[in-house]
Structures are given as C-alpha cells and as structure tokens.
Amino acid sequence: MVAWLVNHAYLIPVFPFLAFWVIALFSRQLKLYSAWVSIGSVFISLIFSLAILWIKIQPLGIERVFSWSWKFMTIGDKVYPIGIQIDNLTTVMLIVVTLVGSCIQIYSAGYMAGDEGFPRYFGFLSLFTASMLGLVLADNFLLLYICWELVGFTSYILIGFWFRKPSAAKAGKKAFLTTRTGDIGFLLGWLTLFGFTGSFALSDARIFIVNHPDMAFLWTVVALLVFWGAVGKSAQIPLHVWLPDAMEGPTPVSALIHAATMVAAGVYLVARTYFLFASTPQALLVVAYIGAFTGFFAATIGMAMHDIKRVLAYSTISQLGYMMAGLGVGGYAAGVFHLFTHAFFKALLFLGAGSVIHACHTNDMRRMGGLARRMPTTHWTFVFGTFALIGIPPFAGFFSKDEILASAFHYGKEHGHWLIFLLLLAGVFFTSFYMFRALYLTFWSKPRCSHHPHESPQVMTIPLVILAFFSLTLGFLYKAFGEFIFVSYPIPSEEAPNWLVMGLSVGMALLGFYVAYQIYGVGAWDKYLLRKRYPLLERTLRKKYFVDETYETLITNPGLHLSYVAGGFDKWVIDGIVNLMGYLGVGWSFFIGFFDKSIVDGIYNLMAWITGQLASASRRLQTGNVSNYFLTMLASIALILILMKFLFKGG
C-alpha cells in the first residue's frame, strides 16, 4: 500500500486540480458539498505525503529521491523534459502544505458557512493547493515558474474574494502587481541560467554552476535576480507592502496563503536554489541583511497596529525575514525548520484570529477584550501559538528561532557582521511585545465588545487544537529535522546548542512580556507614553515607515503624471496625424468610389447576369424525382467506363 502510494506520488497535485475542475463545473449541483470535494482531495494528497514521509524515515530511506520525468517538448533534436522530484526538502513542504492545508480547509467549512461564494471559495482553494504542491514538486525552473505564477494568481483571486468590497479588490490588485514586480526578477534569473545551461532542470543548473566557479559575478547577479522574486513572494523589504493589505481576504485564506504556504514559497525558492546562493557569498550576505532588516522593521510596525490580522501580517513578514536571514547566514536547516514550524503556529494564530473575528464581527483589537472566558478553546490555542511564535521553550518556535539566532551569532563571530544578529535579537523583543499586546487587548482585558461573543463551532476549533498540538511538539524534532534536511543539502551546520544565544533570546522574549504586562496588564506605564514623548517616532511606526506613501510619491504618482502627458501627446499629436490621414483617405475614396461604381460594378453585374442565366437553365435538372437522379448517376458511371475504355486502352 505504502509502496503503491509512493510509486504514484506524482498524483499528489492532480487530486486538488481535479477537485478544482469538479467544483468549477458542478458548483451549482454541489453547493455545500464542494467543501467535501476540496477537503477530500487535499486529504488524499496528505495520505500520499505521509506515505512518502513514512518511506523517508525508514532506515536507509532518508537518502532516497523519487523522481518522474516526462517529455515536455522537442525543439530540433533537443528534448526538454519536465519532471517532478521528491527529495527531503520537498517532503517537508508537502507535509506542510497538505497537513496545514487540510486543517485550514476543514476550518473554512465552518468559517465560510453561509457565504454566497462558498463553492467558488473552495474551488480556488483547491486550485491554490494544486499549484502550491506543483511548486514544491517541480524539479525544473519551467514548472516551478508556472506554478509560481499560478500561486500568485490564486492568491490574487482569493484576496479579492469579496470583490464587491472596493478595498478587497484594490488589495488584490496591489498584491498581484507587487509580487509580479518580484516575479520579473525571478523570470530573468532563471532565463539567464537557461541561456547558459540549455536545460530547465535544477540539477543541470547546479552541476553547471559547480563546474564554473570562474563566472562568480554572473552567478551573483542571477542569485540576486532570483532572490528578487523571493522578496516579492515572501514580502521582504522593500516589496513587503502587499501582505498587510492582503488581509482583506477571508481569514482562512490569510492563514493558508499569506502565512503558512505561499509566502513561504519565496523562502522555499531560496532554499531550493541554494546551490546558486552558496556559490556567491555576496548574494548570501544580501539575503541575510534583507532578512534581518525585514525581521526587525516589520516587528516594530507590528507594535503600532490595531487590526489583529495586520499585527499577524507584520509578524509573518518579520518571521519570513528571520527565515531569509537564517538562510543568508548559512543556517540552511535552521531557515527551513523555521519555515516548517512557522507554518503551523502562524496558521494557528490566524485561525484563532479568524475565530475571534467570527465571534466579534470586527478586526479592531480595541473593540475586543475579555474573550478568554467566553472562548476558552480559541484562547488557549492562541496562547500556544503566541508562545511558539515568541520562542518560549519548549514550544516549536523556540527551537527554530534559536537555531537561526545561533547561526547568526556564529556568522557574526566568523565574518564580523554583528548587525544581523543584533537586529534579529531586537526583533525577538518586539515580537514578544506585540504578541502579548494582542493577547492582552483581545483576551485578557475588560470586555469591550458590542455584543456577546461565543465560542466557534467544533469544525473550527478542532483544527485549532490539532495545530496547537503541532505547535507544542514539533520543536523537539529539531535534531532529526536537521539531519533530514542535511541529506538534502549538505551545508556545514551550526555547532552544538549555544547557551548564550538561547538565554539572550528567552530573556528578550520575557522582557517583551514584562513591558507588555506593565502597559496593558496592570496599566502601570502609560500606553500613550511613546506618542507623547516621541510623536514623530510613533507616527512613523503607525504609518509603517511611510513606505506606502513613498511608493505613492515616487512610483505611482509619477507614473500617473507620465500617463497624463502621454495621453495628451496621444490626443493632440497622434490623433491629429491620424485624422489628417483620414481626411486624405476620404478624398481618395470618393474618386475610387466613382470608378468602382461605374466600371468594376458593371463587370461584376455582367458576370452575375451570365451566372443567373446559366443557373435558370440548369435548374431543370433538379426534377425532385429519385429515379431520375439514379438514372443520371448510372449514366455518368457508364460514361466514365466508356471514356476509360477509350482513354486507357489496356483497361
């Protein structure tokens, strides 16, 4: 059974894809059952993924790589195969996508109940799952890029799911355009690689790069281009602006796409093409700095947000920055492990937030409060997710984040770039602060809700409990996970547990908790202190460092003005020329028309008249009598026979 599943593992993305078509074609008939179709398909994929994992954790199974290949096209005598490949990194991603995906889809069945677009929602969710699975399975740049774009597209339609709301439609557009900006980089990057290697396959590119260390500068450029794509998808600075706005979509979508899987695709891309980055220390340094800055600044913005989903969105950006930084400083396993654990606890946090929003009918944390007693399951699972996120031992996030910090520390010791480590460490404090702020405002303070919230139905709480379980336990896998990933990409791993870093990290987290407790717990410190003392700083944070405004001023508005100028030029100059040509044409046409009417038409009329006469003469042949037709037919055959007799003497 397991062997059969593994032998047919290439079917993994097929099931959600089929589910998408089934739902798309039969949404009227299926109605609410479309949820079952979607959940069932992702569940089948989950079974396949678990079978692969089972094979991988057998003795000697860890180094097995499963791959399938098909001929995609033949140009000249060159064959371009397209295939999928399951190594250990892919296995991890498969588990994340299918396991988190099934939890979120089950949750969605409760969350989206009663929405008019219910089947549409699940259809798109299936399409997204299929493309994401295709993305992690691809063994070549072409399929990877196709799925990469598909993922972006489904993200766009799901952000704009409530497209009647103008803000949602606008957010969808913004997300799509911003990620497209990044995708251009990725496209250019892999096309450059293709131009040199003549093959789409990642393995070929890897071999080529290893064999050509003399072209290091080119590889740096290509790596930065590919990383630019990852920046767009994973919402790193400076392309992070779309992710907070993407929270306009349904909350489970935010959980699945904009926290657990799709935004992690950028990190996955860097991990997948790590051979490229590993060949150039400069590119890795850029990755590390961008990640660290993102991790720090997004965390600071998170402190000033009032919308619970936006807090989580900035938290996601920040954590993605941690992953990137982890990859950048050489902590390959650490970055991927953080991606793995983050998918679970961030999905949990988003689903918890969704549960809260479902109960309170608002996103604004200032109008929540005191929900701990009314929604015990949601509360406890949210607390678990928070502990995992800020890295309290023994929750999952502690291990993964600690590994990243240890890698950064090690990097600082070896290469001197201590700023990365410091930024990440400071980020821990801010993360802890804004998460406890959210907990206080939402669950632990006095009730400020306009009505009486109640616990969500079981279909929503059970996925929360499952994810909370994983958030608690996954961290203990860190050693096994490191070995698991190590086989996939042997990078010298960081050394034994670094107690100093561990203590610093936990201390920062507790400090953040203490500050939050003083401000929001007992109210000992004035929460408007920052606004009173440093109004400019507070305003900067609240306006998200004015990035949106900067883009508006620097890119959007000049673009608009340029369009106006181009429009004016078009209207007056181009249109004038076109109109002049038009008048000339009209004059010429009058002359031609006269010639046409008298002479050309005369010839045609004559022809038509002759044809008409012929036709009225020959229509007598159509007697309408079947026998007559048969006679004509036989006579013709006889004629042909006789002609053949004369023409071909031998016949």
- The token pair at 13 is 């993305």
Binding mask 528-547 for other proteins (x = CB under 8 A): --------------------
The reply to whether 648 sits near other proteins by the rule CB under 8 A is no
Report how far residue 126's alpha carbon sits from residue 132's, in angstroms, rounded to the nearest whole number. 10
Point out which span in 47-55, 340-348, 466-474, 618-626 binds other proteins (CB under 8 A).
618-626
Count of residues in contact with other proteins, rule CB under 8 A: 19
Residue 631 interacts with other proteins (CB under 8 A)? yes
Across the strands, what pairs with 86? 66
Q: Is 635 among the residues that bind other proteins (CB under 8 A)?
A: yes
Task: Return d(Cα 335, Cα 325) in angstroms, integer.
Answer: 8
* Closer CB to other proteins, 532 or 649, in the complex: 649
649 makes contact with other proteins (CB under 8 A): no
Residues in the chain: 651
74 belongs to the binding site for other proteins (CB under 8 A): no
Backbone angles phi, psi at 616, to 5 degrees: -70, -25
- Residue 203 CA to residue 210 CA, distance in Å, equals 11
The verdict on 611 binding other proteins (CB under 8 A) reads: no
Residue pair 404/396 in contact by the 8 Å Cβ criterion: no
**Minimum Å distance from CB 14 to other proteins?**
31
Query: Whose structure tokens read 């919402």?
Result: 235
642 binds other proteins (CB under 8 A): yes
29 binds other proteins (CB under 8 A): no
The residue within the footprint of other proteins, chosen from 78, 590, 624, 647 (CB under 8 A), is 624
| Residue owning tokens 């969605």 | 108
Q: Least distance from C-beta 630 to other proteins, angstroms?
A: 6
Note whether 622 binds other proteins by CB under 8 A: yes
**Locus of tokens 């079952």:** 36
| Two tokens, residue 571 | 């209207």
- Verify binding: residue 641, other proteins, rule CB under 8 A: yes
Closest CA to 168 of 101, 113, 117: 117
Q: Is the peptide bond preceding residue 166 cis, with omega within 30 degrees of 0?
A: no
Interface pick for other proteins out of 74, 211, 598, 627 (rule CB under 8 A): 627
* 630 binds other proteins per the rule CB under 8 A: yes
In angstroms, the first-to-last Cα distance of the chain is 70
637 binds other proteins (CB under 8 A): yes
Nearer to other proteins, 537 or 641 (CB): 641
Please select the residue that binds other proteins; options are 319, 358, 623, 646, rule is CB under 8 A. 623
What are the residues whose beta carbons fall under 8 Å from the beta carbon of 607, sequence distance 6 or more?
none
Q: 3-class SS at 555?
A: helix
Residue 598, interface with other proteins (CB under 8 A)? no
| Residue 628 touches other proteins, criterion: CB under 8 A | yes
Which residues make Cβ contacts (< 8 Å) with residue 65, sequence separation at least 6?
Answer: 85, 86, 87
Q: Does 164 bind other proteins (CB under 8 A)?
A: no
Residues 281 and 220 sit within 8 Å (Cβ to Cβ)? no
Of 554 and 640, nearer to other proteins (C-beta) is 640
Distances (CA, A) of 516 to 188, 303, 363, 384, 446: 46, 10, 20, 17, 16
When binding is defined by CB under 8 A, the residue of 586, 626, 648, 649 that contacts other proteins is 626
Positions touching other proteins (CB under 8 A) are 619-620, 622-628, 630-631, 634-635, 637-638, 641-642, 645, 651
